[in-house]
Chain A
Amino acid sequence: MRFRILGPVHMTPRTPSAAKPRAVLATLLVQSGTVVSVHTLIDELWCSEPPRTAATTLQVYVSQLRKALLQGEGEEPREQALLTRPPGYLMRVGPDELDLNVFESLRAQGREAYEQRNYAEASALLGQALGLWTGAALSGVPHGPMLETSAVRLDELRTEVLEQRISADLRLGRHHELVGELMALAHSHPMRETLHAHLMVALYRSGRQSDALAAYRRARRALVDELGVEPGPALNRLQERVLAADPALAWHEEPSRAARPAPAAPAEPGPVLWLPPDVANFTGRQEQLALGARLLDGDSAVPTGVTDTSAQGGPDKSPMPTRVLAVSGRAGSGKTTLAVHLAHGAADGFPDGRILLNLRDAGGQGVDPVRTMATLLRRLGAADSPGAESVPGDIEELSDLLHRSTRGRKLLIVMDDAVSEAQVRPVLSAVPDSTVVITSRQALGALEGVQHLVLDVLNPQDAEDLLVAAGGTRMAEEPAAVTEMAKLCGYLPLALRVAAAGLAARPHWKASELAGRLRNERTRLAALALGDLDVRSSLLTAYRDVGPEEQHAFRLLALAPVPDFAPWSAAALLGTSPAEAEQLAEELVRANLLEAHRSPASRTPVRYGFHSLLRSLALEMLAEEAAPAVVPEATERLGRACLALARHADARLCPGRDRLAQTGGSGAGAELGDGWTDAEARALIGGSPLWWFREEAAGLLEAVRKTHKAGLWQLTSALASAVSGYYEACGLWDEWETGHELALDAARQSGDAHAEAVVLRSLGDLAWQRHHAARALDRYHLAQHFFSRSEDAVGAARCLTGEADVLLGQGHADRAAQCYEQALNLGRAEGDARGAMEALRGLAFVELVHGRARSALARLGECEAAAELAGDTRWREYARRSAEVARAVSEGEDGAAHGPMPLEVRPGVWLVQPPSAVPSAV
């Protein structure tokens, strides 16, 4: 090489020592073959301040150059390379004399080879081109405008060639070797996104996913700090693909057209590897992994049957060994991740290869078996004979060919996202010697000789561990936020990974901030989306797989109580018969859109519920797709059904208590069994109304909220009143207050004085239970006023009893006695056995306070009789217990030895008085 400008300017045999002649040489070489004018040269040498003798001086420099060019060491005289051509000079060089020319030739050849996918040759040529460089372009000479521009251009050219060479090397699978070089390049060229992208790919393919993401972060930081811009779309997209562990990002050996012909005798084929990369932080699923590993090991002890690793269910073993593992579960439960993880860990057991086949196309439709088998053949054929190109189209021929190709070979085939048994059965038949793992959303129960594995969500600890493993130190620093996030994600692996990735991609967020974004149920799915990782889309695939009737049911059932609901709630919401509702619910369960629970302690055989994220989806779909009247109508149906059953249960729990049910007030369907016959209601509630209330309490309160929100005022008041007996009996203060505050508002909104009276009295009872005397009195007084306005003497009398209870607790026994007497008289006049019962109990305690135990016993006897008449077993037993206490007191037992005793003032409610406080009742 005679002339070099790809580095320090150099000429053989002697480079001019003076800078300016070297600059003239460099300028002419850059423009070799073209005339460079004198003016250009003068500008280049002296820029805007040429001396008066610039032209003459230039001539001297040219003369010096000519002498140097003509010099040689015993060589034949060369032709003059430096020619005078008006209006300047021209440098004539041979094709191989100037390094730039050689560089450009190699660059062109390398590019062509690259385009022809001859990556090995491209890498070699481009590498040769880069090898011509000895330093920064045109270095060692002072730069004028032209040389400056040229130097920048040439350096850019060099970097482009470098990038293309690296790209060719990546395609050749040399990612491991490139990491070091790329790290240095990324450091020295922090603004070149392409280099950063190459580095990320090399790291990712080297199994260093987190380092790849770190490289992205460094690149982003450099761009933001130096230029104030975010990375471009290509780099961002690459980052998302790394986060998503995009299988296409993995290195797959590409068929390249080698310059050399294929060897006549092919070398022994290596294993076929066609798997996406394994996730770097696989967490949990120990039991499932153990089962899968045993099956892949060929453990004949692994039987066929179902292993349900959800909370319920257990293995159903039959003695046949199997080579097929079918993993099913809802979208996002990590079926593919599990299968891929198993496959990566089974390399030793499958020396002939491990291949993953997608059984759904880009549109989400199932791929037909013919295409699946053809794909499998091609992937097997790529490593076998180069001549195996044509694949038959007939399924029989395909099956035969596949059978021959896989016979005797230890192959693992993962069939991912199967839609049906019919889709996989032909393939399974064609690969009898291979071990197969099938993943599907619905369990492929009709496949025989298969070990089924049902994947549920992760347990809470594994879910939190996954968030921390995938989310990094910021997750680990806030364990409370991690716990909350795991719960808000419903412990669904996909949602957990998206949440973790979302945090990793946003260095300025804290874990607690992300948890805050997930709290709103209606926007949670929107927060669980990052690039093409989208939980909503994943869940929607299951929704779109079912028919329109099931989709309608899915949407409407979003209004059902949480955490679960009985079939009767479904029937009410859907406006169908219970049998139809159950059928639809079961279809949704099969499609993994709904969950079914069976609890041994539950009165209802099966209860249904949503996974939290699916409920969010259902609510979204309901908002998007339902007509305006749908939700209010469904809410009313549900409210009425709840009311009917609650009243039925309350009538058995606390007979005669609910004034709204007794008086037929509220106009909300007061007849018992509205929508249900008495027998149906009894069958639904079962033998224990207490247990029915306990199971349905959360749903009933939610129904109150919903009816209130829907403006169904009378239904709201009636429903709250129907449940308050249960709240009172079990001291459920918070629920009681919540429901009744809504009911009070509803009564006032509707101007229903009677409903307001009933609710106020119940709130008075609540305040009394809470020993909040002043508030209780206020409410009883106000309720009494409204009862009087509504001409409900029974209700007004019961308020008097409540007031008397407060007075008695404050030690005003005589005033309490007056109220009790008045209440008793009114109750008896109205034929209210319950009212009389409560008043008689109060009068008994007044007698006890005054030391008249015998009178107290008499009153308690009357109270017991009234309870019997009212049909209230609980109060009857309470009256008997109180009588025993009174009897013991009158006989001097349990007297002063232990001081004043707590007094059961109502069933299950004890008044405890300190020794130095107001004298106790005993």
Chain B
Amino acid sequence: MSIVPRPTVRPRSSAVPAPSLLGPHHLVHRPDTPEGFLLQSTPPVRQQFAFSAELPQDHPLFCDGTAAFHDLLFPLESLRQTAVFAARRCFRIPGNRHMVLTSGTTDVTDTEPWRRRSGSSQIALDLGITPMDVVNGVPHSLSCRAAVSIDGQPCGTAEARIAFPTPLVYRHHWNKGRMESTTSLPGNDGGSSEARIVVEGRLPGQVPAQRPALTAHRSPAPERVGRRSARNVLIGLPVQAPQEEGTRHENETAAGLTFPVDLPTAGEVLPDATDAFTTALLVEASRQSALFAATELYGFAPAHALLSHWQASFRGFAEKGLPLLCTVRTDVKDPAGDLPRDSSGRPYATLMLSFTQGSRLVSEASVRVLQDC
């Protein structure tokens, strides 16, 4: 892969721990058996929960949007955290098992409650968590579904499938993914390229010893990706995808744009927890890439656009030490054609995203960008 060299290097701020996505909140277990009621006893069957939290009013990332909407990541993150809680407390999944999000979907069914207004807002989820692939009473994955409401108004849904592989399986997948990515990245074959990517492997939890040269890149203006602060821009301007065979990158065509994802910046602005990092990273990178693409392709105004649908499947881990690319393609054959409209007459664009590291597909996503008007 060739990366267009960037003339300027954006200064990095000193490392400050990113605040958590969610503040303090209550999680209520809803028992429907006598033993669940009396003893909080939870067999490996579907369990219901109620979740409620105040939506943040001053988060440095998620309150930094130019469009005045609550962030779509909240319900997903709420779902994820509840699933982690349920995994440990209710389903007795051992603590040495990492949580891996294998798929996630979130939808906005009514945009009005998502608008940010003065004063606090409460988000609530009505969650059902079902253990799957139960072996000896311990599930290997959880299927989670939630109905989302904000200030008592039903306004969305969220789903997630979360796997809890054994440490051995987890390490195997990690290593395999890293190997596939590193061997397929340019610069590892001894050839020259304008921008050599220093690739290293690391185990989860380790800080990379050397940041890739990819960090020296040009980023779009924050308004183009729906942010006010340049600090919160996680993607670079679209790049020329490589021509080499065997890569997963597509050429930039009239129907596709490829963005480098600024992993170091992401590591600074997103919560520093591996499990949360991947979800938050991919959702935020999806949003920024999709908004940019929607502006380029359809003339959307980012300050009045929101993601009304995000659906992704995860094939592997996003290694912090390796370059990550996000390719956005349109779902419409003729980009100049009329966009579909929702029942209120607002246009929306459906975009297909793929995240890759080297030849390895990390995630595929489908998003819908709604132009609010």
Interface of A with B (CB < 8 Å)?
A: 653, 688, 690-691, 694, 729-733, 737, 769-772, 774, 809, 873-874, 877-878, 881, 898, 902, 904-905, 907-918
Could you say which residues of chain A place their CB within 8 Å of the CB of B297?
Answer: none
* B40 and A907 within 8 A (CB): yes
Count chain A CB atoms within 10 A of each CB in B19, B27, B81 and give the residue with the most: B27
Q: Contacts A771-B24, A908-B40, A911-B24 hold; do A732 and B30 have CB atoms under 8 A apart?
A: yes
Q: How many angstroms from the CA of A910 to the CA of B89 in the assembled complex?
A: 11
Inter-subunit contact A772/B122 (CB<8 Å): yes
Q: Give the complex CA separation of A770 and B125 in angstroms.
A: 10
**Interface contact A909-B28, CB-CB below 8 Å:** yes
Interface class of chain B by DSSP: mixed
Contacts of B345 in A (CB 8 A): none
- B290 at interface, CB cutoff 8 A: no
Stretch of B47-55, B63-71, B209-217, B300-308 contacting A (4+ beta carbons < 8 Å): B47-55
A916-B20, A917-B20 known; A769+B30 contact, CB < 8 A: no
B353 nearest CB across to chain A (Å): 28
* A-contacting residues, B37-63, CB 8 Å: 37-40, 49-50, 52-54
Does B124 contact A770, Cβ atoms closer than 8 Å? yes
Could you list some 8 contacts between A and B, CB below 8 A?
Answer: A690-B33, A771-B26, A772-B54, A909-B29, A912-B24, A912-B26, A914-B24, A916-B17
Query: For residue A688, which residues in chain B have a CB less than 8 angstroms away from its CB?
Result: 34
Q: Which residue of B lies closest to A810 (CB)?
A: B24
> Do the beta carbons of A769 and B26 come within 8 Å of each other?
yes
Q: How far is the CB of A862 from chain B (nearest CB, A)?
A: 21
In the complex, B333 has a CB within 8 A of chain A: no
On whether the beta carbons of A914 and B22 are closer than 8 Å, the reply is yes
Using an 8 Å CB-CB cutoff, how does the interface string of B58-97 with A read, 1 for contact, 0 for none? 0000000000000000000000010001000100000100
Residue of B nearest to A909 (CB): B28
A739 to chain B, nearest CB (A): 15
A904 to B29, CA, bound (A): 10
Given contacts A694-B32, A770-B124, A912-B81, contact A917 B37 (CB under 8 A): no
> Which residues of A are found within 8 Å of B31, using beta-carbon distances?
690, 729-730, 908
Known: A910-B27, A910-B85. A898 touches B37 (CB 8 A): no
Nearest A-chain residue to B21, judged by Cβ? A914
B22 and A771 contact, CB distance less than 8 A: no
B191 interface contact, C-beta 8 A: no
Q: Decide if B23 is an interface residue (CB 8 Å cutoff).
A: yes
The total of chain B residues at the interface (CB under 8 A) is 33
In angstroms, Cα B165 to Cα A909, docked, is 28
Alpha-carbon distance A774/B122, docked complex (angstroms)? 12
Query: Complex: how many Å from CA A873 to CA B35?
Result: 11
Q: Complex formed: what's the CA distance from A913 to B19 in Å?
A: 12
Contacts of B50 in A (CB 8 A): 731, 733, 769
Interface residues of B (CB under 8 A from A): 17, 19-20, 22-34, 37-40, 49-50, 52-54, 81, 85, 89, 95, 120, 122, 124, 152
Note all chain A residues with C-beta closer than 8 A to B30.
Answer: 730-732, 908
Find A729's partner among B24, B25, B37, B39 (CB 8 Å cutoff): B37
- Cross-chain contact of A771 among B33, B34, B52 (Cβ < 8 A): B52
Min CB distance B19 to A, Å, is 5
Q: A residues within 8 A CB of B25?
A: 771, 911-912
Known contacts A730-B32, A910-B27, A916-B20; is-contact A770 B52 (Cβ 8 Å): yes
Report A88 CB to chain B, min CB distance, Å.
Answer: 76
Looking at B27, B28, B31, B152, which has the most chain A CB atoms within 10 Å of its CB?
Answer: B28
Given contacts A688-B34, A907-B40, contact A733 B22 (CB under 8 A): no
Residue of A nearest to B154 (CB): A734
In contact, B39 and A902 (Cβ under 8 angstroms)? no
Judge whether B20 and A914 touch: CB under 8 Å.
yes
**A771 to B37, Cβ gap below 8 A?**
no
B28, A731: Cβ atoms under 8 Å?
Answer: yes
Set of chain B residues within 8 Å of A917, measured between Cβ atoms: 20, 23-24
A770 CA to B54 CA, complexed, in Å: 9
With a CB–CB cut-off of 8 A, which chain A residues contact B120? 774
Q: Nearest chain-A residue to B49 (Cβ)?
A: A731
Counting chain A CB atoms within 10 Å of each CB, which of B17, B29, B81 scores highest?
B29
CB neighbours of B38 from chain A (8 A): 873-874, 877
Q: Give CA–CA (A914, B53) in the complex, Å.
A: 12
Collect the chain A residues with CB atoms within 8 Å of residue B33's CB. Answer: 690
Decide if B34 touches A690 in the complex (CB within 8 Å): yes
- Chain A residue nearest to B26 (CB atoms) is A771
Q: Closest approach, in angstroms, between the C-beta of B98 and any C-beta of chain A?
A: 13
Instruction: Return the contact of A877 from the options B23, B32, B39 (Cβ within 8 A).
Output: B39
Does the CB pair B40–A912 fall under 8 Å? no
Given the complex of chains A and B, what is the CA–CA distance between A877 and B36 in angstroms? 11
Known A-B contacts: A653-B37, A690-B31, A809-B24. Give 12 more (CB < 8 A). Answer: A690-B33, A691-B34, A771-B24, A877-B39, A877-B40, A905-B26, A908-B37, A909-B26, A912-B27, A914-B20, A916-B17, A916-B20
List A contacts of B81 (CB < 8 A). Answer: 912
| Contact status of A769 and B52, CB under 8 A, knowing A729-B37, A732-B30 | yes
